[in-house]
């Protein structure tokens, strides 16, 4: 699962990494949460960073808040879900991040950890998107992050992790000419960039906190000792 992530990178670095036409205007985000607007790259314009609401809201939903139930989509069952069939085939996106949070449970206690790739700060998570239209005609772009079974590193923390798309595969992921077979191959492909993780403060648990406090190291007293 992926329930919170960060995007602290500067606009110029995102432009270079994602091969954008121009430097995007972005603010540092330390705690991007479901239902919030976040920068994404849509297949309709792969050289621009735009804002979309996190939480895939199908066109037939009566309320945009329905998307809160669909912040993630399991790679293994996408082809079986009517909600995602068209999006997987025709509306894929990239969700840039420089790390994500996961929680490790110790009995009734849970400790947030920050997972990132030290050698390649900007990663792109695989996503799908759609446009939801309100009763009064307002259109909202929404997206979901695709997850897969955890690799050897992540399995020590959680059973799921985001599907990350390697730099050399980003164009194929976004291309409308990519076959369904190739899409499935990309979903199964593992990025070679090594991950690292460290315990952070409980500040990330609060949606209203979106600053550097979220990445402060956890207290030195370990949960097992509390």
Going from the first residue of the chain to its last (226 residues), give the mean pLDDT of each consecutive group of 10, the final group possibly shorter.
Answer: 93 98 97 98 97 96 93 93 92 98 87 96 97 92 97 94 97 96 95 94 96 89 36
Burial profile 106-137: b = 16 or more Cβ within 10 angstroms, e = fewer = eeeeebbbbbbbeebebbbbbbbbbebeeeee
Beta bridge partners of 199: 113
Q: Let me know if residue 213 belongs to a domain.
A: no
Give the pLDDT of residue 79: 82
Q: Let me know if residue 48 belongs to a domain.
A: yes
Q: Let me know if residue 210 belongs to a domain.
A: no
The CATH number of residue 14's host domain is 3.90.1680.10
Q: Let me know if residue 114 belongs to a domain.
A: no
State the distance between the two ends of the chain, measured CA to CA, in whole angstroms.
27
CA distance 58 to 80: 15
Q: Let me know if residue 208 belongs to a domain.
A: no
DSSP 217: B
At 181, list the tokens.
């077979």
Given the structure tokens 């705690």, which residue do they identify? 31
Q: Let me know if residue 206 belongs to a domain.
A: no
Q: Let me know if residue 119 belongs to a domain.
A: no
Cα pseudo-dihedral 193, 159, 97, 111, rounded to 10 = -110
Using alpha carbons only, what angle is made at residue 38 by residues 34 and 41, rounded to the nearest 5 degrees?
125
CA nearest to 59, candidates 95, 88, 37, 86: 86
> pTM for this one?
0.94
Q: Let me know if residue 205 belongs to a domain.
A: no
Give the pLDDT of residue 108: 79
- Residue 188: give the domain boundaries: 5-98+125-194
What is the number of structural domains in the chain?
1
């Amino acid at each position: 699962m992926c329930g919170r992530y960060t995007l602290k990178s500067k606009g110029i670095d995102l432009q270079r990494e994602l091969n954008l036409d121009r430097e995007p205007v972005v603010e540092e985000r330390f705690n991007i949460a479901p239902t919030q607007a976040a920068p994404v790259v849509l297949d309709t314009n792969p050289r621009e960073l735009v804002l979309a609401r996190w939480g895939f809201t199908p066109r037939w939903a009566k309320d945009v808040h329905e998307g809160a139930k669909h912040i993630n989509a399991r790679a293994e069952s996408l082809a079986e879900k009517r909600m995602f069939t068209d999006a997987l085939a025709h509306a894929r996106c990239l969700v840039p991040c420089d790390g994500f949070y996961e929680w490790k449970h110790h009995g009734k206690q849970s400790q947030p950890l920050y997972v990132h790739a030290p050698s390649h700060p900007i990663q792109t998570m695989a996503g799908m998107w759609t446009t939801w239209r309100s009763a009064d005609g307002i259109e909202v772009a929404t997206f979901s992050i695709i997850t897969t079974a955890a690799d050897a590193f992540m399995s020590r923390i959680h059973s799921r992790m985001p599907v990350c798309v390697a730099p050399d595969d980003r164009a194929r992921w976004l291309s409308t000419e990519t076959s369904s077979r190739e899409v499935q191959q990309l979903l199964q492909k593992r990025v070679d960039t090594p991950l690292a993780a460290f315990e952070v403060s409980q500040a990330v648990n609060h949606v209203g906190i979106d600053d550097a406090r979220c990445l402060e190291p956890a207290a030195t007293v370990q949960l097992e000792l509390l």
